[in-house]
Structure 1
């Protein structure tokens, strides 16, 4: 492989890594991994004890047997067992994660961005927002294309 070709590939790879969306994705993955520990602690420390007040602290132990006899576990298990407790635990983890992410990250960021946009409009003196529907834009594009072609084409 030539030196020039290697240099071009390396430069392209560096450009790919330095694009904003790749860096943002990497940051999101790292934050998500750290956030997983928080959610797992909330489930383990709060949700499981609350469920434990009703039944057992370990949701994984809840199951239903659809083909008897359901005995044993792992490779030695007999029958067909539905482990609905683990599904419930994963669902609770997801709902808790989604709730915390929404209220601690998405909602404050949306309010911050709305405030920034309002400040920028006030600074520019632009208070009026003109709303144009997608249909109106498409009609304008169509009319411009028809006018560009000339009057030889009929307009619907």
Structure 2
């Protein structure tokens, strides 16, 4: 029982639970944004009538295809994806690139097959091409 308690109280699990709750709340917020602001805005642009995309459908051989509901979900997905990209992915990418910029290079590119190989390698492990050794003081700075 102690192992299960330790697992539940581990930091990653708690952070994941918080992320799921915030993500669900954020999803609800974006769905409301699409239904209450974006859909009426589209209606105002297209002629003043507020469209209810959720009711748009067509029938083929007795099967109903609700493409309007799909449009609402598509708009919701695109907004969430854009927000996650601009508020999470881009800042993290910049942060990682700042830290990676200060690291010294430990690999070089093979001139034959373009694979990454150790700086001190005399033969490529991928294409077995012989490499000319470059003295350490003549190497370009990382």
Q: Give the Cα–Cα distance (whole angstroms) in 1 for the partners of residues 100 and 88 of structure 2.
A: 18
The residue matched to 1:81 in structure 2 has which SS? strand
2:66 aligned with 1:89, yes or no?
no
Aligned to 2:137: none
Deviation at residue 29 of structure 1 after TM alignment: 0.4
Change in CA separation of 1:57 and 1:36 when aligned onto 2, cut-off 3 Å: same
Shift of 1:86: 0.5
Partner residue in 1 for 2:140: none
Are 1:127 and 2:118 an aligned pair?
A: no
Q: Secondary structure at the match of 1:57?
A: coil
Q: Following the alignment from structure 1 to structure 2, what is the Cα–Cα distance between the partners of residues 16 and 105? A: 27
The CA deviation at 1:45 is 3.4
Question: TM-score w.r.t. structure 1 length?
Answer: 0.58
1:136–1:43 CA distance, 2 compared to 1 (3 A): farther
Q: Residue 13 of structure 2 aligns with which residue?
A: 22
Using the alignment, how far apart are the partners of 1:136 and 1:101 within structure 2? 39
d(CA) in 2 for partners of 1:59, 1:110: 36
Task: Report how far residue 117 of structure 1 moved.
Answer: 4.0
**1:62 equivalent in structure 2:** 56
Which structure: larger Rg? Answer: 1
2:4 and 2:125 map into 1 onto residues whose CA distance is 42
Task: Let me know the Cα RMSD of the aligned residues.
Answer: 2.7
The answer for unaligned runs of 5 or more in structure 2 is: 109-115, 118-123, 129-142
Question: How far apart, CA to CA, are the structure 2 residues paired with 1:129 and 1:41?
Answer: 50
Summarize deviations over 1:50-69 as a string: whole Å, max 9, x none: 332336431111111213xx
Higher helix share: 1
In the alignment, is residue 31 of structure 1 matched against residue 22 of structure 2? yes
Contact 2:35–2:72 under 8 Å retained in 1: no
CA distance in 1, matches of 2:50, 2:99: 48
Which 5+ residue runs of structure 1 have no aligned equivalent? 1-8, 68-78, 140-156
